Amino acid sequence: MSTIERIRRARVARLLDHEDLQRAAARALPRGIREYVAGGSEDEVTLARNAQAFRDVAFRPRMATWVPEPELATTVLGTRVDLPVLTAPCGGLRLVHPDGDLGFAKAAAGAGTVHVASSAAGFTLEDIASVEGPKWFQLYRFSSHETMEHLMRRAQDAGYSALVATVDTAVSGYRVRDFKNGFSYSMRVNARNAVKLAPQLLRKPAWLARYVLDGLPFEIPNTARITADGKPMVLTEMTKGGAGSHSPTWTDIDWLRANWRGPLVVKGLLTVEDARRAVDAGADAVIVSNHGGRQLDGAPATLTVLPRIVDSVGDRAEVLLDSGIRRGSDVVKALSLGAKAVLAGRLPTWGLAAGGTAGVERSLELLRTEMIRTMRLLGCHSVAELDRSWLDEDTLPSAIKEVETP
């Protein structure tokens, strides 16, 4: 291990929780990138709801019980994971730190869990697949069925074990912070936008040096083979809608099920009706998600709709959850309400900004440590035991209470 890497690991070891990670990320990133990661759409109502929903739910501990080492391991779509937290698909990670998606994949492998690689990643899906450890591939439609088919076949050939179709991006959410910061049109450092971006970037010389040495990445390399001119799309082209929608349709889901050899996951569902439709179409799992509050503002918190979806389709498909995970106790609450596992995106991204791969590893280490402490204090020996009996019914939102406890 190099001296620089030892220093980096020593620095991130001093980060003690999600707030420390977020503060460290804020110190490292230019405003535009920082708020791209942290922000939500419109008034950020859903962004706030996600985190508040976890805070509102209280535990129901069982005292006078010693738990020497809680068992966190489970299986997700047949793959054993030592930590029931998958690293979520996130676009733009290479803007945060040159380690980017590769750092996510390495950290997930080190934690004994799955990395879900984004088709809007800063590295090719083949590069990410070369990292040791289990991986799923998250698929956007981009501009046509043909582009989706092309990416699916590459993912199949690269050895991804599951395909995740994200269905909540028919148009991009209106992320006001991005427009105000100039991120919505480009964060490239060039003569065209240097005047507008210079005040942001020059305040973060370490980030700017890494970005320049990394080749000023702003493209989505997975799209290089699917554009008319052979050039990859840039991140801001993800805002297109209508004919250029990036969201698969139900017809696309049917096609994916017929042509993908392996588990199929549908991500971005918030209603029982859509969850049933996905499972009826052959989905092996669904991810209850509102895109981290970045799409439809005013959508419900994922934790509040999770039990209904579990009650409706949980006997036919695995149900996972993302959006709002900040602490290990959040993971325990989601599992208690029926999630098989959760996905975390912002938290490891803050870790990435704070210390590259080592920072992502630290974010997952914190979640593991917090889960172990929470389960010991609850008196719970294994994640397999978690159900609603570990939560205080009086603190559950009405949407949760309507679902009968098995």
Output the pLDDT for position 233: 77
First-to-last C-alpha distance (Å) of the chain: 51
Query: Which residue has 């959850």 as its token pair?
Result: 321
Count Cα atoms within 13 angstroms, Cβ side, for 131.
26
pLDDT (tens, 9 = 90+) of the chain, 406 residues, equals 788 888 889 999 999 999 999 999 999 999 989 999 999 999 999 999 999 999 999 999 999 999 999 999 999 999 999 999 999 999 999 999 999 999 999 999 999 999 999 999 999 999 999 999 999 999 998 877 888 899 999 999 999 999 999 999 988 899 999 888 876 655 555 556 656 777 888 899 999 899 989 988 888 888 876 665 667 777 766 655 555 567 899 999 999 999 999 999 999 999 999 999 999 999 999 999 999 999 999 999 999 999 999 999 999 999 999 999 999 999 999 999 999 999 999 999 999 999 999 999 999 999 999 999 999 999 999 999 999 999 999 999 776 767 765 4
Task: List the beta bridge partners of residue 264.
Answer: 163
Cβ(256)–Cβ(264) under 8 Å? yes
Neighbours of 14 (CB within 10 A): 9
How many degrees, rounded to 5, is the angle at CA 315 between CA 340 and CA 287? 40
CA-nearest of 246, 220, 293, 217 to 33 is 217
In angstroms, the CA 319 to CA 286 distance is: 5
Catalytic annotation, residues: 291
333: which 2 tokens?
């609450």
Bridging pattern class, strands 341-344 and 318-322: parallel
Output the pLDDT for position 240: 56
CATH of domain 3-401: 3.20.20.70
Output the pLDDT for position 132: 97
Residue ranges per structural domain of the chain: 3-401
What are the backbone dihedrals phi and psi of residue 7, each rounded to the nearest 5 degrees, phi first?
-65, -45
In angstroms, the CA 361 to CA 9 distance is: 9
The three-class DSSP label of residue 98 is coil
Task: List the beta bridge partners of residue 319.
Answer: 286
69: which 2 tokens?
């080492």
CA-nearest of 332, 327, 329 to 21 is 327
Output the pLDDT for position 147: 83
pTM attached to this predicted model: 0.94
